[in-house]
Structure 1
Amino acid sequence: MGDEPGLRERKKQRTRQALSDTAIELFLKRGFDQVSVADVAAAVEVSKPTLFRYFPTKEDLALDRIADHQGEAARVVSGRTAGQSPLGALRAHFHERLEAHDPVTGLNDNAIVRAFNDMLYTTPSLLARLVRYSHRDEELLAGALEETGGSGGLTARLAAAQIITVHQRLAEENWRKLASGRTVADALPEAHADADRAYDLLGAGLMEQYA
């Protein structure tokens, strides 16, 4: 009996993963707008109410693939090395992710990642839903910035909003580079330069508080 909660939890995780994986497969194969929630539920052999217990909207099914990155900027700030500024840590982390061709940077030419990004950046409802994820990232980052000893309140929230927006715009710009036919190897130096330019601008504006 003692193992039952753990078994139930593992079963829930398997169901959630099956729903997410199946949804992405169907979305990429047939198009986001051409696949219904009922289609996904039927493919996994669960009811629509069961699906909605895991994912409130169809957009959440698609964006589950990036859910692991929720709060990443806040974690970078909280886990920075002694003497490293918040912006310095975030800049270094973004460059590291570029070198790793992390999908979250937009600079990844894996066919499935490219197809996912194509879907994300060309589907208005997904971009609108992404705003909700961004707001949560901003809240978490603002909290982490306050803990650094810099200004809190509105100043921290404004700084967090700028940083998260910069990350999103850099990722979208990198996607555009690849969508235009360029390779990762060709676009990587420019992506690094773009990131430095963005962080220089952030530093100029936030220098007194978090740089």
Structure 2
Amino acid sequence: MNDELGLRERKKLRTRAAISAAAIELFLERGFDAVGVAEVARAAEVSKRTLFAYFPAKEDLVLHRFADHETDAADVVRGRRPDQGPLSALREAFVRGLAEHEPVTGLCDAPAVVAVFRLVTGTPALVARLAEFTGAGEAALAAALAEAGVPAPDAGLAAAQITAIRRTLAEANMAAVAAGVPARERLPEARATAERAFTMLSSGVGFA
């Protein structure tokens, strides 16, 4: 039974990935607004009903990659070492992500990732939808900070600041990479800027 459930889950993941890949290929070729959901379904060889079962909104065909990281910051806070403060854990995780060129930090110059960066930043509907995911991630982080003992309303205020800093850092890296700066070349500046930003946060939010 477990093997059957595992096989079913893997099949769902493959279907989800295939639909998204077909959509992104079409969007990159002709533009997000010029491609309809029905066309994506045909390209992925699924019905529209199946497509919407995996992706409730057209924007999610692209942004599910970002949505999958929606609770990353909250997960870092909850998974930190016993002797480590929330902000210290977030700082460490972000800097490590830069070194590993994780797409969520904006410092990834893999051609496919850069193409998606450009697609997202150049499409108002995708920018608006991404803001929704960012807001949900901020709420999750606020909850994790509250669990860590940060009192209200400080948890919410701190989450807003941390989310804004992470977004600003990622967008700056994304812009540099999209302009043709190799990720490895950008890394020292990206790391120094991140360290400076988190130092400012530490002074402002009042906890380490």
* TM-score, normalised with respect to structure 2: 0.91
Q: Tell me by how many angstroms 1:176 deviates.
A: 1.5
Cα distance in 2, alignment partners of residues 180 and 17 from structure 1: 28
Count of residue pairs the alignment pairs up? 208
Question: Counterpart in 1 of 2:163?
Answer: 164
| CA drift at 1:204 | 1.7
**Deviating 4+ runs (over 4 angstroms):** 1-10
Shift of 1:50: 2.2
Q: 1:80 to 1:7 in 2, by over 3 A?
A: closer
Q: Deviations over 1:87-115 (max 9, x none)?
A: 11101111100000111111111111111
Write the letter of the residue equivalent to 1:201.
M
* Aligned counterpart, 1:141: 141
- 1:28-79 CA distances to partner (integer Å, 9 max, x unpaired)? 2322222211111111222222211221111011101223212111111111
Q: Distance in 1 between matches of 2:3 and 2:87?
A: 45
Question: 1:92 — aligned with what?
Answer: 92
The DSSP-based 3-state class of the residue aligned with 2:163 is helix
Structure 1 gaps of 5+ residues are none
Q: Give ranges in structure 2 of 5+ residues lacking alignment.
A: none
Distance 1:93 1:5, change over 3 A: closer
Which one-letter code corresponds to 1:41 in the other structure?
A
2:180 is matched with: 181
Q: How far is 1:14 from its partner? A: 2.9
- What is the TM-score of this pair, normalised by structure 1? 0.90
Alpha-carbon distance change, 112 to 2 in structure 1, aligned in 2, over 3 angstroms = closer
The question of whether the paired residues in 2 share the 8 Å contact of 1:121 and 1:172 is answered with no
1:65-144 matches, cutoff 5 A: 65-144=65-144
Distance 1:204 1:120 in 2: 33
User: 2: distance between equivalents of 1:4 and 1:95?
Assistant: 40
Partner of 1:54: 54
Alignment RMSD: 1.9
Query: Equivalents in 2 of 1:7, 1:26: separation in Å?
Result: 29
C-alpha contact (below 8 Å) 2:158/2:205 kept by paired residues: yes
The whole-number CA distance in structure 1 between the counterparts of 2:193 and 2:165 is 10
Counterparts of 1:103 and 1:110, CA distance in 2: 9
Percentage identity across paired residues of the two chains: 53
Report the Cα offset of residue 22 of structure 1. 1.4
2:51 and 2:184 map into 1 onto residues whose CA distance is: 40
What SS does the aligned partner of 1:80 have?
coil
| Separation (CA, whole Å) in 1 of partners of 2:26 and 2:140 | 32
Measure how far apart 1:8 and its partner are. Answer: 4.7
* Residues 137-162 of structure 1: CA deviation (Å, up to 9, x unaligned): 1121111101111213x321221122
Whether the aligned pair in 1 keeps the contact of 2:169 and 2:194 (CA below 8 Å) is yes
d(CA) in 2 for partners of 1:137, 1:121: 19
